[in-house]
Structure 1
Amino acid sequence: MLRSLSIQNFALIEQLQVSFDTGLITITGETGAGKSLLLGALGLLLGKRADLSSVKNSAVKCTIEGVFDIGKYDLEAFFEEEDLDYEAETIIRREILPSGKSRAFINDTPVTLNSLNQLGPRLIDIHSQHQTLEVTTNDFQFEVLDALSESSREIESYKRGLSLLKAKEKEERDLLESQEELTKEHDYNSFLLNELKEAKLKPGELSDLEERYETLVNIEEIQERLSGSVSLFSSEEVGISDLLNTIKTNISKVAPYSGTLKELSDRIQSMYIELEDINGSLQDELERLEADPEQLEEVSQRLQMIHNLQTKHGTSSTEELLQIKEELQEKVSKTESLTQDIENIREEILSTKKQLDEVAGRIHKKRTKALPKLVSELEDILRSLGMPNATFKTSLTLQEKYFSNGKEVLEFLFSANKGGSYGELKKVASGGELSRIMIGIKAILSRYTQLPTIIFDEIDTGVSGEVAHKMADLMMAMSKNLQVLSITHLPQIAANGQSQYKVFKEDINDSTVTRLKLLNEDDRVREIAEMIGGKDISDSALTHAKSLLCHPN
């Protein structure tokens, strides 16, 4: 409920601070006094967009702050999702800066207008003649029916199931699209994959092949140079081995005479051993090498095959070709397994639909039971509000289609006159009739669910006499379960308020400002008397006003 409202520098309101209690609160005042400004300020708290034109003094910040008691509204989950500190007494503040920039806060934490738009309707339901059209929508009619049928748990379960069903159906569509795309490429991918499989490529193979090719193609030159080198080692005239051996022998004989000679002798010894090893390796390599035209052809053909594959796939190594092979294998395998995946997801969809159908059946059963009760209670209320012949004809039909809140189509037809034809509310009900239907529905809802604070903005327009008393009775009954604020021109409703405020204009110096005043008992008598008889208050009007206040019902 709305505990207090503070407004500074908004339109004609210079500064206003007001506290509200529980029950029925009535707000009265002359036309144009500024009652709409209160609704405008509350609208900003609930997330409406602001602009600098709504600021009284554009050089000063405009601030609107509301304190709300939200302990009964089960809003902890919302605060957690929005990463906000939950407080049973929550403060919402809007600021419009001189620059025109707007800021919003919940419990002093900056928030977006989207957050306010989500939270606002859970705190205050501002109901004007314009909002009355909501009663003509199927969604609202289902909302009312579901409150009476107490099927919220089943509906939440249904919505979770529907969300899962939509996700699985999207997965099926994605799989079918993938299957269609991959099927087009499947044959080509299979051909490329088989080509790479038949190549039997190995990591590092290309460099090995290129080395073998260079060796085989240049084998005669290699043999000639190796043979010449081996000859130099063992030649009788200038054999490297014999010469180095002579040097080694000479130096080894004088090595004991100094450390330097000993070091040189060791180095020559190591060199001699290394050269002998090199000589042996050269002889081994020379014996191993043999011209092999067939092997050369084989290596050449394999190199050409690998180069062709590299050109086709735009790669530079066998490792890249092997990676492409794995990717092609994955695509081909995925194409071949998609059929099974599609069959699996379709089975899951059927299972989900079966569970949804069961939940939808339970919802339908509860709604079917509650619908006559809703119609009966609403028709009773409308009779008391001066619509004795108002009747409804309803039907609730199960469909194959899955809607957002079940599988039914609700037909909610209305006739205001005896023997009249039935039609949709938006087509056959007048504005006054819709207002009475809406207040009747709100009265019913207040008995079955925890509604937010309701503000009725002149919903009683066009009502008078006994009907006004009955409307006041309805508001009083509603106020036992929730806070009700009624902006009214009817003395019958004003007198029913457990507290009454008056909106009025006042000229201060060269400026007109809007004020809001909590009326005491004497003030209320005069205000209601003025509502009855006009500015010139008569004794009979005063007497009538006192009678209404003493016996509001």
Structure 2
Amino acid sequence: MLRALHIRDFVIVDRADIEFDSGFTVFTGETGAGKSILIDALALALGERADLSVLREGATKAEISAVFTPTKDIGKWLEQHDLEAEDELVLRRVVDAQGRSRAYINGSPVNLTQLKEVGEQLIDIHGQHAHQSLLRGDNQRDLLDAHGAHQALKQDTLQAWKSWRVVLKKLEAATQDASSLAVAQEKLDWQISELQSLRLIAGEWDDISAEHTRLAHAQALIDGASSTLAMLDESESSTQHQLAVAVKTLGSLLKHDTSLQAVQDALVSASNDVNQAISDLNVYLSGVELDPARLSVVEARMSSLFDAARKLKTDPEHLFTLLQSLLAERDALIASTDIEALKQEESTLKQAYQAAAQTLSLARKKSATRLSQEVTTAMQTLAMQGGSFQIAVTETNPSGHGQDQIEFLVAGHTGTSPRPLAKVASGGELARISLALSVIASRAARVPTLIFDEVDSGIGGAVAEVVGRLLAELGNRHQVLCVTHLPQVAARGQYQFQVSKQQINQTTISKIERLQQPARIEEIARMLGGVKITETTREHAKELLTG
């Protein structure tokens, strides 16, 4: 649950530190005092987009920190993202005067996507214009699915839809572009035939290039190696003979001066190296020979590889890799042009989609029946006696959302037929139905904290008392925060905060104060009686608080 909210320089709030308890908490205050600003600040900490308008005038940055008690699921999420899991969860957001935004979870920098992922597991916000969104079909479908916990079924249906559509597009392309695909395959067959006729070997070009260089310069290699061998070994002036004399001479001198030992050792090492070089040159000369016939074969092979590379617009060393690539491309093309195989695959995937969509549809119909009954019951207590609510689930064209059209229907009075919500519900009725849906759907919500931002607009009198009881009942299962202008709702809160505006140095500042019982009576009386508060309104306020 939400434990605390710390706000610095946000819109007209210079500084606010609010601590929260479980249960039902209300925020009240005059219009324009900044009640909804608190919700906006919290939404910012949960990952909503921000711009410079959130900065209090004259401030260099706005900063919001929200402190929560983490759930087990949040702990797992933090571990998966290599973030510190602590006894409290702190979401922090900073927006500076240059428009730069930074986000943190338990002090570690994160992106907005991560902040939103956490926020969706912590808080569900019902905005003051939620009832207007009920008029859109996609929102009606989403609300039903959320209430019925159809997320897994929706995901299965969407994935089956995507898989089916991919193969369906391949089938359509293969059917429509058969001639062009045949031309493409013919070109691939020619290219592959050219390369396969060469009997290519991986790494062949490097090997044959090295061999050609050796054969083409065989005479120079023989002459050079022979002359080097002669200098090293074949006369009294040879390097080998001179080193032997030097070693012997120094050896005779060592008995007179041992400091020559290092020189002696170096000469012995050099003599050994020369002997090894002489041996290696003899082995080399025994193996190298002039081979014009082999040179001719190698040059012919290189010419063939050059010709093929030129035709296929590549380099000779890439011919083997190109062949492998072309073979894979042809296999894929053959698979994509196998219309019968594609038809079979498309039929299988279509059946899989229809099965997933049918399972989702059955779940929706079951949830629709239950939710319709619950909302109809709630309408009887919301000044819509005799009215009924119905969710129609009818078949429509298949899509990633399934094969259902979801439509909310309402009958305002006994004996009237249910008609689409957008056509028959007045503004006040729509607001009441929206509130009933919000409360009923939220009973199944898995998030610990629910926020209602003036969702009770357009409601008054006895209906407001019912709304207050509904929200208070919801507070037994969730932490509920509600921004309200109705005294009947405010009186049902276990805790109440007053939001007010003050003028300080010609600047408007919003102040948030937690009210105790005497102050709550005054605030409820203000909400009941307006500017002038009388003893009568105070008595009425006391009755509401104790009722």
> Which of the residues 470, 473, 480 maps onto 2:466?
470
- Please say if 1:458 is aligned against 2:454: yes
Match of 1:190 in 2: 189
Match of 1:227 in 2: none
Shift of the 504–343 alpha-carbon distance from structure 1 to 2, 3 Å rule, reads same
> Which of the residues 476, 491, 502 maps onto 1:495?
491
Given that residues 129 and 435 in structure 1 are in contact (C-alpha distance below 8 angstroms), is that contact kept between their aligned partners in structure 2? no
Please give the alpha-carbon distance, in whole angstroms, between the structure 2 residues aligned to 1:499 and 1:302: 91
1:127 to partner: Cα distance: 2.5
Residue 547 of structure 1 aligns to a residue in which SS? helix
- Please say if 1:90 is aligned against 2:89: yes
| 1:16-65 Cα distance to aligned partner (Å, 9 max, x none) | 11111111111111122221321232232132333344323535432211
1:384 to partner: Cα distance: 0.8
Please give the alpha-carbon distance, in whole angstroms, between the structure 2 residues aligned to 1:323 and 1:451: 55
TM-score under structure 2 normalisation? Answer: 0.72
Shift of the 329–522 alpha-carbon distance from structure 1 to 2, 3 Å rule, reads closer
Segments of 5+ residues of structure 1 without an aligned counterpart are 215-258, 260-273, 290-295
1:479 to partner: Cα distance: 1.1
Please give the alpha-carbon distance, in whole angstroms, between the structure 2 residues aligned to 1:316 and 1:505: 77
Please give the alpha-carbon distance, in whole angstroms, between the structure 2 residues aligned to 1:447 and 1:395: 22
**Residues 43-54 of structure 1: pairs in structure 2 closer than 5 A:** 43-54=43-54
1:498 to partner: Cα distance: 0.3
Please give the alpha-carbon distance, in whole angstroms, between the structure 2 residues aligned to 1:159 and 1:88: 37
Instruction: Please identify, of 176-185 and 524-533, the stretch whose mean Cα deviation from structure 2 is larger.
Output: 176-185
- Please say if 1:65 is aligned against 2:65: yes
Match of 2:239 in 1: none
Shift of the 189–484 alpha-carbon distance from structure 1 to 2, 3 Å rule, reads closer
Given that residues 29 and 503 in structure 1 are in contact (C-alpha distance below 8 angstroms), is that contact kept between their aligned partners in structure 2? yes
Residue 435 of structure 1 aligns to a residue in which SS? helix
Given that residues 450 and 482 in structure 1 are in contact (C-alpha distance below 8 angstroms), is that contact kept between their aligned partners in structure 2? no
1:533 to partner: Cα distance: 1.9
Match of 1:141 in 2: 140
Given that residues 179 and 338 in structure 1 are in contact (C-alpha distance below 8 angstroms), is that contact kept between their aligned partners in structure 2? no
Report the AA paired with residue 540 of structure 1: T
Given that residues 71 and 88 in structure 1 are in contact (C-alpha distance below 8 angstroms), is that contact kept between their aligned partners in structure 2? no
1:101 to partner: Cα distance: 2.3
Residue 469 of structure 1 aligns to a residue in which SS? helix
- Please say if 1:132 is aligned against 2:128: no
Shift of the 498–183 alpha-carbon distance from structure 1 to 2, 3 Å rule, reads same
Match of 2:384 in 1: 387
- Please say if 1:363 is aligned against 2:398: no
Please give the alpha-carbon distance, in whole angstroms, between the structure 2 residues aligned to 1:100 and 1:151: 39
Shift of the 148–313 alpha-carbon distance from structure 1 to 2, 3 Å rule, reads closer
Given that residues 71 and 89 in structure 1 are in contact (C-alpha distance below 8 angstroms), is that contact kept between their aligned partners in structure 2? no
Match of 2:236 in 1: none
**Residues 151-170 of structure 1: pairs in structure 2 closer than 5 A:** 151-162=150-161, 164-165=163-164
Instruction: Please identify, of 77-86 and 429-438, the stretch whose mean Cα deviation from structure 2 is larger.
Output: 77-86
Please give the alpha-carbon distance, in whole angstroms, between the structure 2 residues aligned to 1:193 and 1:58: 72
Segments of 5+ residues of structure 2 without an aligned counterpart are 217-244, 246-281
Given that residues 375 and 392 in structure 1 are in contact (C-alpha distance below 8 angstroms), is that contact kept between their aligned partners in structure 2? yes
- Please say if 1:111 is aligned against 2:110: yes
Match of 2:55 in 1: 55
Please give the alpha-carbon distance, in whole angstroms, between the structure 1 residues aligned to 2:400 and 2:142: 14
Please give the alpha-carbon distance, in whole angstroms, between the structure 2 residues aligned to 1:199 and 1:435: 79
Residue 459 of structure 2 aligns to a residue in which SS? coil
**Residues 50-449 of structure 1: pairs in structure 2 closer than 5 A:** 50-56=50-56, 58-71=58-71, 74-76=73-75, 78-79=77-78, 82-87=81-86, 89-147=88-146, 149=148, 151-162=150-161, 164-165=163-164, 182-191=181-190, 193-194=192-193, 312-313=311-312, 335-336=333-334, 338-340=336-338, 344=341, 347-399=344-396, 401-404=398-401, 406-418=402-414, 422-449=418-445
1:501 to partner: Cα distance: 0.9
Report the AA paired with residue 40 of structure 1: D
1:400 to partner: Cα distance: 6.2
Please give the alpha-carbon distance, in whole angstroms, between the structure 1 residues aligned to 2:26 and 2:189: 80
1:549 to partner: Cα distance: 1.0
Instruction: Please identify, of 13-22 and 534-543, the stretch whose mean Cα deviation from structure 2 is larger.
Output: 534-543
Match of 2:8 in 1: 8
Match of 2:258 in 1: none
Report the AA paired with residue 464 of structure 2: A
Match of 2:261 in 1: none
Shift of the 174–116 alpha-carbon distance from structure 1 to 2, 3 Å rule, reads farther
- Please say if 1:40 is aligned against 2:68: no
Shift of the 320–535 alpha-carbon distance from structure 1 to 2, 3 Å rule, reads closer
Given that residues 29 and 499 in structure 2 are in contact (C-alpha distance below 8 angstroms), is that contact kept between their aligned partners in structure 1? yes
Shift of the 509–163 alpha-carbon distance from structure 1 to 2, 3 Å rule, reads same
Match of 1:22 in 2: 22
Please give the alpha-carbon distance, in whole angstroms, between the structure 2 residues aligned to 1:307 and 1:71: 68
| 1:346-372 Cα distance to aligned partner (Å, 9 max, x none) | 544444443443343333333323322
- Bigger radius of gyration among the two: 1
Report the AA paired with residue 15 of structure 1: R
Shift of the 189–427 alpha-carbon distance from structure 1 to 2, 3 Å rule, reads same
Report the AA paired with residue 55 of structure 1: L
Report the AA paired with residue 383 of structure 1: Q
| 1:60-110 Cα distance to aligned partner (Å, 9 max, x none) | 4322111123417x3456545654344563111111234442211122121
Report the AA paired with residue 25 of structure 2: I
How many positions carry a matched residue from both structures?
A: 472
Instruction: Please identify, of 35-44 and 194-203, the stretch whose mean Cα deviation from structure 2 is larger.
Output: 194-203
Shift of the 408–82 alpha-carbon distance from structure 1 to 2, 3 Å rule, reads farther
| 1:195-245 Cα distance to aligned partner (Å, 9 max, x none) | 6666789978999xx99xx9xxxxxxxxxxxxxxxxxxxxxxxxxxxxxxx
Please give the alpha-carbon distance, in whole angstroms, between the structure 1 residues aligned to 2:23 and 2:309: 84
Shift of the 132–106 alpha-carbon distance from structure 1 to 2, 3 Å rule, reads farther
Please give the alpha-carbon distance, in whole angstroms, between the structure 1 residues aligned to 2:525 and 2:101: 42
Please give the alpha-carbon distance, in whole angstroms, between the structure 2 residues aligned to 1:438 and 1:414: 12
Please give the alpha-carbon distance, in whole angstroms, between the structure 1 residues aligned to 2:152 and 2:324: 50
1:519 to partner: Cα distance: 0.8
Residue 496 of structure 1 aligns to a residue in which SS? coil
Percent identity over the alignment is 34
Please give the alpha-carbon distance, in whole angstroms, between the structure 2 residues aligned to 1:303 and 1:462: 88
> Which of the residues 506, 509, 513 maps onto 1:513?
509
Given that residues 191 and 312 in structure 2 are in contact (C-alpha distance below 8 angstroms), is that contact kept between their aligned partners in structure 1? no
Please give the alpha-carbon distance, in whole angstroms, between the structure 2 residues aligned to 1:431 and 1:92: 37
1:516 to partner: Cα distance: 0.9
| 1:358-397 Cα distance to aligned partner (Å, 9 max, x none) | 3433333333233222111101111211122432344323
